[in-house]
Amino acid sequence: MRMVLLGAPGSGKGTQADLLKDKYACAHISTGDIFRRNLLAKTELGVKAGEFMNRGELVPDEIVIGMVKDRLRESDATGFLMDGFPRTIPQAEAFGVMLEELKTPLDAVVLLDIDEEILVGRLTNRRTCRACGKIWNLLSMKGDNLSPGCPECGGELYQRDDDAELVIRNRLKVYNDQTSPLVSWYAKTGKLYTIEASASPDETLKKIQAALG
């Protein structure tokens, strides 16, 4: 399976990719996660990307494209779930060329479609586990678990720097301006599946699987 998950920040791309990667036994490639790992390790790439990420802006195309090109050459990447890439038309063009060269055409582009105000609520309550990387939402954890740790492994939950409300508003604007044109771009390929994604992760997963057959 070679799939692109498209959608605004907070639409559930990372959560769905996590669920789908086991079903389809393919690599989950998240450009945001690669940048965050590099930022933590203070690599040159991480420091450069961090300047853009903390403002809620996109990392320049040439940096992202080079990084994805390298990642796609790794042996586990013949099947993939692309989470957070492409995010601009030039990235989609370069991605198309990469896939043509590798002779690995896309099977599907899944758009997770969701109302913007729901997104802001989701993002301000999003927490990630420092130990296992699992994504949680404080709203759906209330009552279930009052301890501050990860319900699965007990690790520390933290809020991403770019999930502060002002940065979130900018990320949504950037999505509308620069990424949403990809919807009509991919619609033309006949491989676009639009999934209403405001329900629970499990329900959204079921809708994706039903749409893909």
| 84 burial type by CB count under 10 A (0-12 exposed, 13-18 middle, 19+ buried) | buried
Which residue, 43 or 145, has its beta carbon nearer to ligand AMP?
43
Q: Where are the beta strands (DSSP E) in 8-106?
A: 27-30, 80-83
Q: Is 52 in the site for ligand AMP (CB under 6 A)?
A: yes
Which residue, 53 or 192, has its beta carbon nearer to ligand AMP?
53
Q: Which helix (H) or strand (E) holds 38?
A: helix 31-40
Q: Is 175 in the site for ligand AMP (CB under 6 A)?
A: no
Compute the CA torsion angle 133, 138, 140, 145 (nearest 10 deg). 90
How many Cα atoms sit within 13 Å of 60 on the Cβ side? 5
Given candidates 28, 38, 84, 192, which one binds ligand AMP under the rule CB under 6 A? 84
Q: Is 111 in the site for ligand AMP (CB under 6 A)?
A: no
Shortest distance (Å) from residue 107 CB to ligand AMP: 20
Say whether the peptide bond before residue 105 is cis (omega within 30 degrees of 0): no
Binding mask 123-162 for ligand AMP (x = CB under 6 A): ---------------------------------------x
Residues 25-44 that bind ligand AMP (CB under 6 A): 31-32, 35
Scan for tokens 């903390």, then name that residue.
54
Residues in the chain: 213
User: Which stretch, 58-66, 100-108, 124-132, 193-201, contacts ligand AMP (CB under 6 A)?
Assistant: 58-66
> Which stretches of the chain bind ligand AMP, using CB under 6 A?
9, 31-32, 35, 52-53, 56-59, 64, 84-85, 87, 91, 162, 171
